[in-house]
């Protein structure tokens, strides 16, 4: 078995080879590019699932994780091992990521087979004739590289390689969010995502450097770095933070700094602003970022580094409290915003932010198993929801196209106009937000889609019930209930009620989304004529849907009444030996009827409230009832509490001002002037050296040569064979010798 597990390092290679093949050789053939990308994801899946199940089926595997070495890099006093790692935590990630990546790739094959509505047909006539995005192959290359980054990150054995693959995903997110760069909104969103996540990455990088310098020995390899000996060493060190003068343990400071990487990548407040705008990319990108890769990687960072966070919580309790409160506040904050959004994908985006907050809060309170459990279940049902929303947008857009083709509507009819492709329609100003009557993403333009798109509709409803935590029958119920139980057990009462309120709001806006999208009567021509999606888009939905239900049954607590123990708690069983091996402890909350009642109340109550408020839909011209009832509060939620505007008026001007100042320092004031002055001085010295060389060095050398030549000529003439000349030389020599000998005597006499 170990020989097979040693193939873990191969997982990122197939999608990377697919990326290279597409950009180097296959760019012109869109179909072959897509099949190559899917093939790369499929090979990783074929390798990944046997590895994951080998870990799951090996008793006590967590007590003996696999560490493999590929090569080492000398770092002066020590060396850095580059290799791979297989353990129960990343086996769960391999199980999730390889499957969802394959499903998303298959979905993208059908989804991107439409000419974007924001492009004119005459700009790309060949692509328009083929009914494909003109950059179809490039898209497949980008998502292949994205998959490379995620799979490489999951199997990394060191924080350094983890960070390298982390940055690869950051680059790909920038490229994919701004994929349709013809739209100013897409370019702005890509820039926002890149810059916002870089803030977290830079802070994390500082933490990594401190971790390397202060560790004994200096290392970033997980096995050595997270050993209890090294963590106790870091816990014994105290440091004073400059400027603020706060003294804390080294491990506490490092934990907070590294956590900021998670705040950026997993979109936690205040670095959450990029994730909703990431909807500007094609829907498969949204699924990649929100479910299988980008945001999951941020939470997985805390999972991977949990021994460090655990020790930090013991020596510096404020560090873990900061983590937990950040997650809980983000969950509640994002849930409020989601209640007042109309864009079907933005609702899901804020939902993702909230669910990530759930996971972070769980890990911050020490609920390691619950946090990782929810990370896995959420990935499946959120991928189901995002792909389902893409199918809805795709169908409504085609519905508008059908109406236009028959002279019943407006629009350009260029194909699917995902992400507000636009139909040139006029904007209707409403009290609950401006409405574009031909926007395929606005839920006010939907309704009745369950009859038109039954496969998409029912799978979306399954995902929505899982997200809401529908009792007993959904994966979301069991993973959320475990988190609530853990926070109740650890007596983090404030966090418990913040998460409970967030869960209620989640169920409410999910019911609102399902009712407005799939139930009632169509509220636009697009919804009335929306077709079901192609098989390449519906089959992934059908394959993901069972996991949104069944995965929760593998994490039922043994203490749960009646059904606890009937199905073994697989998640806990797999992770428990690894937890003991790593040396930290996690709580095992006992069953609490209070927690169960709260879980049932928030899930069923939120769903019931959402259905009651929106059961009649939104008749033409009628505004959201919540807008009337909540008044200014609803508007604040709709405007996302003006956080984006705050960034626009503070962070962005500051960033631009800093960039301009850096330009002045670089080009006008310091760096370039100094470099130019050094250049001029160097040129002057070179000219002076040239003159010295020409007139002094060369002069002396030339003079020496001339003197030597003249002396040689004299000597050559003297050697003519005549006795007189030789006698003269002897006589002159004697005279010189006599003078030199007699000179001291003469001087004495004088």
Give the whole-number percent of the chain exceeding pLDDT 70.
91
Separation in Å, CA 571 to CA 31, 38, 350, 479: 40, 30, 27, 11
Res 1: pLDDT? 59
Name the β-bridge partners of 240. Answer: 247
Q: Which residue has the tokens 């926070």?
A: 487
Q: How far apart are CA 480 and CA 483, in angstroms?
A: 5
| pLDDT of 406 over the 70 cut | no
Q: Give the whole-angstrom CA distance, residue 99 versus residue 292.
A: 9
Please give the pLDDT value at position 748: 67
- Cβ neighbours of residue 78 closer than 8 Å, sequence gap 6 or more: 217, 218, 219
pLDDT score of 445: 92
Confidence at 658, pLDDT banded by 50, 70, 90: confident
3-state secondary structure of 206: helix
Q: How many residues does the structure list for the chain?
A: 750
Lowest mean per-residue pLDDT among 210-224, 289-303, 508-522: 289-303
Query: What is the mean predicted confidence (pLDDT) over 82-98?
Result: 94
Question: CA nearest 662: which of 652, 672, 675?
Answer: 672
Q: Which residues face 67 on adjacent strands? A: 85
Tally: H helices and E strands in the chain: 33, 4
Q: What is the mean pLDDT of residues 89-98?
A: 95
- What pLDDT, in 10s, does the model give residues 560-580? 888 887 888 899 999 999 999
Quote the mean pLDDT of the chain.
87
668 confidence band (pLDDT: 50, 70, 90): low
Name the nearest CA neighbour of 96 among 297, 341, 342, 325: 297
Q: Is 750 a residue whose pLDDT tops 70?
A: no
Higher-confidence position of 657 and 64: 64
Please tell me the pTM assigned to this model. Answer: 0.86
Q: In 3D, which of 90, 91, 140 has the Cα closest to residue 112? A: 140
Tell me which residue of 351, 322, 596 sits closest to 484, measured CA to CA: 596
Per the omega criterion (within 30 degrees of 0), is the bond before 175 cis? no
Instruction: Please state whether the peptide bond connecting residue 270 to the residue before it is cis, i.e. omega within 30 degrees of 0.
Output: yes
In terms of phi and psi (left: phi > 0; alpha: psi -120 to 50; beta: otherwise), the region of 290 is alpha
Instruction: From 442, 399, 114, 400, select the one nearest 279 (Cα to Cα).
Output: 442
Instruction: Name the DSSP class of 240.
Output: E
- The whole-number average pLDDT for the span 730-748 is 73
For residue 465, the model assigns a pLDDT of 96
pLDDT score of 409 more than 70: no
Asked whether the predicted pLDDT for residue 407 surpasses 80, the reply is: no
CA count, 13 A, side-chain hemisphere, 663: 6
Amino acid 568: pLDDT: 84
With cut-offs at 50, 70 and 90, classify the pLDDT of residue 723. Answer: low
Looking at residue 720, its pLDDT comes to: 61
Q: At residue 438, what are phi and psi to the nearest 5 degrees?
A: -120, 20
Confidence of residue 678 (pLDDT cuts 50, 70, 90): confident
Identify the pLDDT of residue 421. 46
Report pLDDT for 111: 86
Q: What is the mean pLDDT of residues 470-477?
A: 90
C-alpha of 125 from chain center? 35
Greatest alpha-carbon span in the chain: 140
Q: Give 352-374 pLDDT, tens digit per residue.
A: 999 999 999 999 999 999 999 99
């Amino acid at each position: 078995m170990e020989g097979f597990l040693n193939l873990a390092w191969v997982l990122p290679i197939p999608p990377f080879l697919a990326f290279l093949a597409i950009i180097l050789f296959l760019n012109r053939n869109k179909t072959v590019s897509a099949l190559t990308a899917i093939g790369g994801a499929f090979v990783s899946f074929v390798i990944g699932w046997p590895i994951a199940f080998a870990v799951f089926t090996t008793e006590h595997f967590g007590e003996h994780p696999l560490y493999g070495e590929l090569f080492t890099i000398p770092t002066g006093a020590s060396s850095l091992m580059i290799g791979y790692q297989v353990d129960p935590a990343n086996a769960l990630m391999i199980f999730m990521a390889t499957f969802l990546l394959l499903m998303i790739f298959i979905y993208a094959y059908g989804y991107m087979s439409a000419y974007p509505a924001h492009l004119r047909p005459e700009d790309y006539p060949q692509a328009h004739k083929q009914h494909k995005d003109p950059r179809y192959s490039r898209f497949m290359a980008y998502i292949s590289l994205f998959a490379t980054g995620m799979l490489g990150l999951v199997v990394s054995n060191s924080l350094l390689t983890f960070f390298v693959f982390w940055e690869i995903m950051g680059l790909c997110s920038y490229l994919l969010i701004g994929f349709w760069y013809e739209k100013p909104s897409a370019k702005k969103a890509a820039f926002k995502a890149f810059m916002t996540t870089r803030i977290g990455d830079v802070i994390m990088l500082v933490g990594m450097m401190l971790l390397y310098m202060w560790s004994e020995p200096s290392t970033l390899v997980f096995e050595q770095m997270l050993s209890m000996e090294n963590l106790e060493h870091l816990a014994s060190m105290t440091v004073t933070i400059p400027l603020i003068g706060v003294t804390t343990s080294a491990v506490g400071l490092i934990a907070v700094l590294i956590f900021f990487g998670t705040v950026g990548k997993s979109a936690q407040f205040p670095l959450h602003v990029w994730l909703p705008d990431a909807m500007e990319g094609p829907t498969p990108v949204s699924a990649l970022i929100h479910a299988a890769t980008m945001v999951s990687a941020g939470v997985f960072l805390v999972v991977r580094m949990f021994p460090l966070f655990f020790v930090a919580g013991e020596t510096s309790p404020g560090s873990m409290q900061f983590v937990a409160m950040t997650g809980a506040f983000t969950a509640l904050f994002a849930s409020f915003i989601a209640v007042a959004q109309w864009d079907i994908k933005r609702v899901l985006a804020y939902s993702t932010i909230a669910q990530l907050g759930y996971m972070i809060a769980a890990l911050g309170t020490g609920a390691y198993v619950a946090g990782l459990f929810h990370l896995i279940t959420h990935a499946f049902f959120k991928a189901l929801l995002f792909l389902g929303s893409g199918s809805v947008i795709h169908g409504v857009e085609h519905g508008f196209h059908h109406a236009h083709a028959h002279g019943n509507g407006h629009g350009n009819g260029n194909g699917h106009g995902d992400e507000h492709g636009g139909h040139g329609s006029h904007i209707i100003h409403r009290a609950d937000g401006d409405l574009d009557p031909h926007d395929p993403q606005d839920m006010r333009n939907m309704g009745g889609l369950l009859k038109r798109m039954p496969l998409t509709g029912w799978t979306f409803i399954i995902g929505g019930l899982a997200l809401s935590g529908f009792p007993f029958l959904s994966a979301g119920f069991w993973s959320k209930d475990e988190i609530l139980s853990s926070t109740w057990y650890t007596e983090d009462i404030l966090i418990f009620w913040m998460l409970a309120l967030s869960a209620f709001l989640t169920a409410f806006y999910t019911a609102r989304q399902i009712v407005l999208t799939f139930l009632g009567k169509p509220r636009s021509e697009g919804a009335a004529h929306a077709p079901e999606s192609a098989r390449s888009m519906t089959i992934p939905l059908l394959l993901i849907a069972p996991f949104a239900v069944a995965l929760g049954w593998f994490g039922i607590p043994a203490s749960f009444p009646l059904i606890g123990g009937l199905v073994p708690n697989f998640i806990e069983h797999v992770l428990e030996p690894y937890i003991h091996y790593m040396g930290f402890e996690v709580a095992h909350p006992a069953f609490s009827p209070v927690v169960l009642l709260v879980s049932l109340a928030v899930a069923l109550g939120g769903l019931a409230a959402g259905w009651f408020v929106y059961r009649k839909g939104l008749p033409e011209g009628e505004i959201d009832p919540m807008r009337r009832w909540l008044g200014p509060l609803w508007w604040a939620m709709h405007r996302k509490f003006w956080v984006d505007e705050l960034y626009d008026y503070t962070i962005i001007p500051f960033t631009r001002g800093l960039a301009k100042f850096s330009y002045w320092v670089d080009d006008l004031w310091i760096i370039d002037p100094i470099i130019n002055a050094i250049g001029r001085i160097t040129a002057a010295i070179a000219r002076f050296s040239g003159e010295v060389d020409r007139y002094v060095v060369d002069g002396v050398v030339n003079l020496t040569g001339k003197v030597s030549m003249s002396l040689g000529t004299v000597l050559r003439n003297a050697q003519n064979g005549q006795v007189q000349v030789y006698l003269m030389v002897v006589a002159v020599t004697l005279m010189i010798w006599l003078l030199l000998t007699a000179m001291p005597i003469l001087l004495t006499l004088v």
